[in-house]
Structure 1
Amino acid sequence: MRLVRTPSTGPGAANESGRPERLRSERARRLADRIRQDVLGGRFAAGALPDEHHLVTEYGASRNAVREALRLLAAEGLLVRRPGFGTRVAAQKFAHSLDRLAGLAETLNHRGGITNEVRSLTWQAAAPDVARRLDVDPGTTVLYLERLRTLDGEPLSVDCSHLTADIGAELVTMDLGSRDVFELIELIVGMPLGVSEVAVHAVNAESDVADVLGLAARDAVFTVDRLTRLADGRPVDLETLHIRGDRMSFTSVLHRSPGPGAPPSHSVG
């Protein structure tokens, strides 16, 4: 009996017909991931990437894959491509470590001049969500501080903080234009801060944040939610940071610990 293969008309037909294009897209995306890692790792610190011929050899990829990967990275704002000028890193990204509790100026003071423009400094009645996280009663007076952080004159982040009244009363008399809030809190309480609970989200910038940061509406930003406590565990600073995704990256060194069901470790006596 002779079997005759007929064209598939089922749900998988479109997948099969689109498979070569999907594979090309996947190769370009994976190559873009590798190039991005090298850019963020400082491999192209001078700013310019090699030409396409060298990138083909360097990454063992086809020229089409290299071109598409560079297009993807240019679309996300990491690279700039101009005829006759080649491909360059659009703007230097700075790493902010999540391994230790540190303010932005403390992290980047050796990378340029950090300045803070105070956009709002007001006393407010704590909304229920703010009160819950600061462990105060709803309606309790708290200080609201909003600052635009710049690095060498370029917008970097918008930082919005709610601080407990005892900290805020001292803070309003201090230099908020050039010093980190963390540093000022430690001066007020006379001891180092304790811990912070941090969550990082990638979001599309709302129009007001985008305007302040010099971005187009809906451009990607990091939103960092951070609750900082004193050494005795009392929460004193609730922040939401809106950070330009094209200027900052977050790094950490993670140590693996045994998970549920892991075999017990054996020590040699």
Structure 2
Amino acid sequence: MRRLRDLLRSAILRGTFPGGVLPTEAELMASYGATRATVRETLAVLRREGLIDRRPGVGTHVVVKAVMTQLVEAHGVEPPGQESLLNRRLRARELDRSMIPLPHLAADRLGVPAGVPCLRLEYVSLFGDEPHGMATNYVLNPEAGRMRDQPFVHDWYALLNEAGVGYEQSEFVCGCAPADAATAALLGIAEGSPLITIEQVISDASGRPFNLAYIHVRGDRFLFVSSAARRH
């Protein structure tokens, strides 16, 4: 079951099925050499994950549209002429934007004294009307001053660009964690659902870190693509 689940889950998130319509149970059985019980169990799992809907007489339909982006773009390294990370496909719903003393542990990551003024900007990222992730950012001055009143419409890098904030380096530390009750409510998922966690530090041209972010991403709605070639 898990092998068929993995194959179908990947195809669903990549938008492989024409019109979002999955093959019939009989077609899946024939294509993958699976029993009817295995196919039904697999589809039940995908339905519980919120990826498909099944209706008698209608069939099995995809009900999710995932965002896919190159990992290099997620770092904010943009191709020439591209205005924002995801070409303005995302929009933001702000939860908090306030100047606060920088917390001690955040100060350690950014290499500055605790308590210095920083901008805390927390938001939910939406694709259409559906939440895909959320982030809490701690931004140092002078960048914080430029961003404090800048309208936040699309993705984080569009906000930086529109506020006139330059950046050159980005570091990700990725992991996973179950969604707590508050995060689950904001992202429209069940408490305990798995999330991709990302701790990000963004630095300026001199290598000075000025932005620390704690990001929680729905793995069923956001796909990072990373490609590499072996050098000979």
**Shorter-chain TM-score: which interval?**
0.7 to 0.9
Paired AA for residue 80 in structure 1: D
Deviation at 1:159? Answer: 1.7
Distance in 2 separating the partners of 1:122 and 1:45 = 45
Of 135, 155, 180 in structure 2, the residue corresponding to residue 180 of structure 1 is: 155
Deviation at 1:52? Answer: 0.7
Deviation at 1:186? Answer: 4.2
Alignment of 1:57-136 (within 5 A): 57-100=30-73, 101-102=75-76, 106-109=84-87, 111=89, 114-136=90-112
Partner secondary structure for residue 49 of structure 1: coil
After TM superposition, the runs of 4+ consecutive aligned structure 1 residues lying more than 6 A away are none
Distance in 1 separating the partners of 2:143 and 2:230 = 37
Paired AA for residue 212 in structure 1: L
| Structure 2 CA distance for partners of 1:81 and 1:126, relative to 1, 3 Å | same
Distance in 1 separating the partners of 2:120 and 2:215 = 13
Partner secondary structure for residue 99 of structure 1: helix
Paired AA for residue 224 in structure 1: I
Of 122, 136, 140 in structure 2, the residue corresponding to residue 164 of structure 1 is: 140
* Root mean square deviation of aligned Cα: 2.4
Deviation at 1:223? Answer: 2.1
| Structure 2 CA distance for partners of 1:163 and 1:208, relative to 1, 3 Å | same
Say which is worse superposed, 47-56 or 75-84, in terms of deviation. 75-84
Query: Does 2:184 align with 1:210?
Result: yes
Larger Rg: 1
Of 115, 138, 142 in structure 2, the residue corresponding to residue 139 of structure 1 is: 115
Q: TM-score normalized by structure 1?
A: 0.75
Cα deviation digits, residues 26-47 of structure 1 (max 9, x gap): xx11111122222223211411
RCO greater where, 1 or 2, for CA within 8 Å and sep 6 or more? 2
- Aligned-pair identity in percent equals 31
Q: Which runs of 5+ in 1 are unaligned?
A: 1-27, 258-264
